[in-house]
Amino acid sequence: MARRVVVTGVGLASAVGIGTEETWQALLAGRGGVAPITHFDTTGFSVTFAAEVKNFDPLLYVEKKELKKMGLFIQFALTATEFALKQSKLTVTPDFAERTGVYIGSGIGGFDVIEREHTALLQGGPRKISPFFIPATIVNLASGFVSIRCGAKGPNSATATACSSSAHAVGDSFRIIQRGDADVMISGGSEAAITPLSVGGFASMRALSTRNDSPETASRPFDAERDGFVIGEGAGILIMEELEFARRRGAPIFAEVVGYGMSGDAFHITAPSETADGAVRAMRATLNDAKLQPEQVQYINAHGTSTPYNDKLETMAIKKVFGDHAKKLAVSSTKSMTGHLLGGAGGLEAGIAVLTLRDQVLPPTINYKNPDPECDLDYVPNQARKAEVEYVLSNSFGFGGTNAALMFKRWSE
């Protein structure tokens, strides 16, 4: 029989707050974090805004001598992990270090370092490249640094499945604990891709909103006037534990992980299938894994990117999976406030799903003004809502047609 897995800590760092409760309270207040870009000079760029983490001082979370060894996505991962460990009251000790793993996803990794070191190469030649360039950049070093910081000697891995990266990391960590390969997993995702090359690249694909005159209203998932996503940064980390292990150490328990599904579209490198087939199969797989009927789910934290195609097809997929119950479901996209963290989105949103269950309140979709006939569900528009919630589904869909869905259950003894 599969072992039960619970969440005992959530760590968040986002454009609306540094820290779990600061982020959560901002979301419930409907406060967005999108603003003009400050990380670089946007002169000549067609998109000049993003959802940056504001007033971030890495020295509060990382020793000064260590900073040169890590890209910003690693710094965010360590920051969110610190908040998650504190909430979980977890200190990894030698007696269970080998049963504690780390699994953190990122879609792009250290883009900031790649661009910086490429400039150094062009300006000063190969001798100017930092010896820390590679470890500061590669995706698995978020997991690596966290494991070193915590002394976690169990399974150590990373995912790079575009915008599904950290949802896959959480789901895979769920499986690792279920099958008995670890008792604790520190899992989630981190991203820091608000850089000239990244913003310019996504803009050239016409994937980003170009609402430069009103950045605070640019991320508007499911709204008829949505025109693209807003790139965000930050991290979301969960402390996941086998139930009896968590009970023995007296850990706080906020939710149970009960389902995980994944699928591939086999359709297009960036666009979802026109029938939403991949999203449908991922959600159905999650329901089957959790042994749930569609009508047992009350809320979906949607992928909801604010792109015309994605929002329409996710709505279609939800209606196919949930049938008549879809009209009774609450669905919201917190990307309307945090922006889209790319590979870090699933970790951040998994944490938000857990907090939704803990506090029995639904975060809103802000900037929802003009209903779209093709997006006709209850998107919790503009204001948070108290609700009785037993099960929450969190969706993540990525470039390459890679899909993941996670199911969380309200904790009850």
Catalytic residues, by residue number, are 163, 303, 340
Tokens describing residue 303: 């992928």
Instruction: Compute the distance between CA of residue 305 and CA of residue 340 in angstroms, rounded to an integer.
Output: 7
Strands (E), 158-200: 184-191
Instruction: Compute the distance between CA of residue 224 and CA of residue 8 in angstroms, rounded to an integer.
Output: 38
Burial class (CB in 10 A: 0-12, 13-18, 19+), 383: middle
Partners of 35 in the β-ladder: 50
Instruction: Compute the distance between CA of residue 100 and CA of residue 152 in angstroms, rounded to an integer.
Output: 5
Residue with tokens 């789910």: 297
DSSP type of residue 58: G
Instruction: Compute the distance between CA of residue 60 and CA of residue 38 in angstroms, rounded to an integer.
Output: 21
Phi-psi region of 136 (alpha: psi -120 to 50; beta: other; left: phi over 0): alpha
**Which of 3, 2, 11 shows the shortest CA–CA distance to 354?**
11
Q: How many Cα atoms sit within 13 Å of 381 on the Cβ side? A: 13
Query: How many Cβ atoms sit within 10 Å of the Cβ of residue 358?
Result: 18
| Three-state DSSP class for residue 84 | helix
Instruction: Compute the distance between CA of residue 46 and CA of residue 8 in angstroms, rounded to an integer.
Output: 43
CA 370, 391, 319 angle in degrees (round to 5)?
45
| Three-state DSSP class for residue 269 | coil
Instruction: Compute the distance between CA of residue 313 and CA of residue 272 in angstroms, rounded to an integer.
Output: 8
CA 294 to chain centre: 24
- Interacting residues of 148 by C-beta distance below 8 A, sequence separation 6+: none
